[in-house]
Structure 1
């Protein structure tokens, strides 16, 4: 049996979690196969428990393969690995001797139509990827939601063919990261759970559920507790784990600020009972991070996780985030036995509605804000089936208010001593 045939993403993360270790993961992707291989090798050699990442370039994500071919022909840089365009033999060479049971590799992409990407994964025995019919549609373009739901249904079923190769496909929801910022945690949890249920309904048995670090550590820990509880109550599979993303909005511009924020993400992952952390680097606000910068961030996150004390958060009675997420999930599931159809009805009726999202299939009747304590709250709930307290304003919410909220985390962590955990 070859290395690739024994690489099981879910089993690897589960084993590390049982040993008390947080798995850390970069988001790197390079167009040049030699650089991509060097990035994977450096990630594997890092002083941390890691999994590898091949992030697909922006042209491939939207199916502009002619643009990829021109870039490769002209020697132009791509912002990710063109998995569909590089021959399978080339990608197999990138993975050879690296991808295996002690270092599984995940493909990250951002596509509302992932079928070509999934075909390329099958050709080289890559079994782990991520996304979702909502989270890889609404924020990234104008693909109709119904088309994305159909694409992802077929994509899940395509991935199940990996079992013919002796591989167990693993899918990670991106629903807990909608727009990266300013989506209240209850809705992030709900969409992550709904996408996980969608995956399971279409034959995926190994799943991870995502949540992106937001603006208040206490609220984030409550959200992770709610996510774990809802998955325990609703997911019909036993092989699932939680993955935390380091903050995805405007990142601190100072070195110390970036590391403070990353340290908080590692603490959040440990405190919140997550098993894996998607890392960001100190270079995020200026440029695409180098391999070396990615490795430093991975090792720092692992160090911060080791020094964090696990402080369980109860998601029982009285958790507003759990109550809100459960109400959203329950309302959607009541609309139709098919989760994909239920999602379409929910967005059409405004029962799911993403604040500040301009996609035509999003109602756009909700708004959020950051309160004086740093928590994300609803300002307008539209037709959401939630009883959330809303702010009463003496004036209209302006673009200046929105810009201030968008830069809240950057300002907080760029201030000297803006949080407790300092870079080494």
Structure 2
């Protein structure tokens, strides 16, 4: 069965109009709650995409427990798309999902074949994740199994949807403490993997980091590299509002959300995944999401053009571009199959994610936040660092546990302290 694609065409129309698309991370267990949340988002008078975020049971392949919870009236932390019938979900989306309101399913699953089959049965065409980005931080499944599962899943979606779209989560891979060059390399590689397995509409993600100046340079490098390596694909860039520990104060969270929206618009991102002012306290409500969507859209779309990079941002762009390009070229030379490239890169330590405990990650790298607030390598392991940039990495001393804790709270403390 082929279905029409709403996702990619909607992004293209908004990009042509100079508008940044905003999107929540929202999911509810019952049909009634999920429709109500999507309906409220769809009524907004600016470009927005709906989200169906799946529950934690469905993410690990448990499709029975959600029904037990629903029968008992217990709340789930997302929508059990496999447990609900395809007809029930189609009815839930009736009158909402369409050319002016695309819907993306977000799931966090290393083995997504069943979920993707359900998407096709429902008539949806957009999801996200990737063989690396939804394996290493989220599961203990061997990487080779995730690569095989994602290859099959791409074919399931591309065979069932006329213009299937997948967003790489690679730019958010433990992004709050990962040097930007690795995030960019993994995101590009995952998009190439999707393309190799039949998906020709992709989005490449980047997670807001610890320094807005470094982020501006990193997104400029990402766009340049995407233009080179993803030529011929329908692609766009999606920015994630900071994915780590969030400010606990209203003022601090609001300032961070505003900065994220401004960053997205000024760097030419087409879409932004929005967080809410309640992230530090609880699972956000629909109203929390609506407030943040309105704040982000107004902040971004009051800006009418991209911002030229400052000299310091240009320096970050050039550094990150060179690191990521060397990494990409070395990895892509390993095999004609992108999945094998990924597997061999992790086996050899060419890809090595700081502070990631997955068995297939070498664990010989670490990172730190320098005095300018930028993410740097503390130990680079076997990750290839250009000789002219080696002075920027590799400290004499390892990162201590107390320093790591401070790093994890760096952004939250920075924004909360502004309001102290």
Give every structure 1 segment of 4 or more consecutive aligned residues whose post-TM-superposition deviation is greater than 3 Å: 4-7, 312-318
Query: Residue deviations 1:365-406, cap 9 Å, x none?
Result: 00000011100000000000113422534x542110100000
Within the candidate set 144, 147, 157, 1:146 is matched to 144
1:246-257 equivalent positions in 2, closer than 5 A: 246-257=241-252
CA distance in 2, matches of 1:306, 1:233: 28
CA distance in 2, matches of 1:304, 1:236: 31
1:278-293 equivalent positions in 2, closer than 5 A: 278-293=273-288
Instruction: Indicate the larger mover: 69-78 or 53-62.
Output: 69-78
Instruction: Classify 1:238/1:51 alpha carbon distance in 2 versus 1 (closer, same or farther; 3 Å).
Output: same
CA distance in 1, matches of 2:315, 2:379: 26
Alignment-derived partner of residue 346 in structure 1: 345
CA distance in 1, matches of 2:30, 2:175: 28
Shift of 1:68: 1.7
Within the candidate set 179, 196, 200, 1:205 is matched to 200
Alignment-derived partner of residue 306 in structure 2: 310
Q: Which runs of 5+ in 2 are unaligned?
A: none
Within the candidate set 132, 135, 154, 1:134 is matched to 132
Shift of 1:226: 1.0
CA distance in 2, matches of 1:411, 1:366: 25
CA distance in 2, matches of 1:316, 1:157: 40
Shift of 1:237: 2.9
CA distance in 2, matches of 1:40, 1:124: 16
CA distance in 2, matches of 1:124, 1:415: 47
Query: Residue deviations 1:29-68, cap 9 Å, x none?
Result: 0001111001111111123210100001011011012222
The answer to whether the 8 A contact 1:48-1:298 is kept is no
SS of 1:20's equivalent in the other structure is coil
The answer to whether the 8 A contact 2:3-2:125 is kept is no
Shift of 1:310: 2.0
Alignment-derived partner of residue 60 in structure 1: 58
Alignment-derived partner of residue 177 in structure 1: 172
Instruction: Indicate the larger mover: 397-406 or 234-243.
Output: 234-243
Q: Which runs of 5+ in 1 are unaligned?
A: 419-424
Alignment-derived partner of residue 392 in structure 1: 395
1:6-405 equivalent positions in 2, closer than 5 A: 6-163=4-161, 167-308=162-303, 310-313=306-309, 319-387=318-386, 388=390, 389-393=392-396, 395-405=397-407
CA distance in 2, matches of 1:316, 1:156: 37
The answer to whether the 8 A contact 1:47-1:299 is kept is no
Instruction: Classify 1:96/1:405 alpha carbon distance in 2 versus 1 (closer, same or farther; 3 Å).
Output: same
Query: Residue deviations 1:263-299, cap 9 Å, x none?
Result: 1111111111100000000011111111111011000
Instruction: Indicate the larger mover: 328-337 or 234-243.
Output: 234-243
CA distance in 1, matches of 2:110, 2:116: 12
Does residue 406 of structure 2 align to residue 410 of structure 1? no
CA distance in 1, matches of 2:333, 2:102: 37
Shift of 1:18: 0.7
CA distance in 1, matches of 2:225, 2:24: 27
Shift of 1:231: 1.0
Alignment-derived partner of residue 422 in structure 1: none
* TM-score (ref. length: structure 1): 0.94
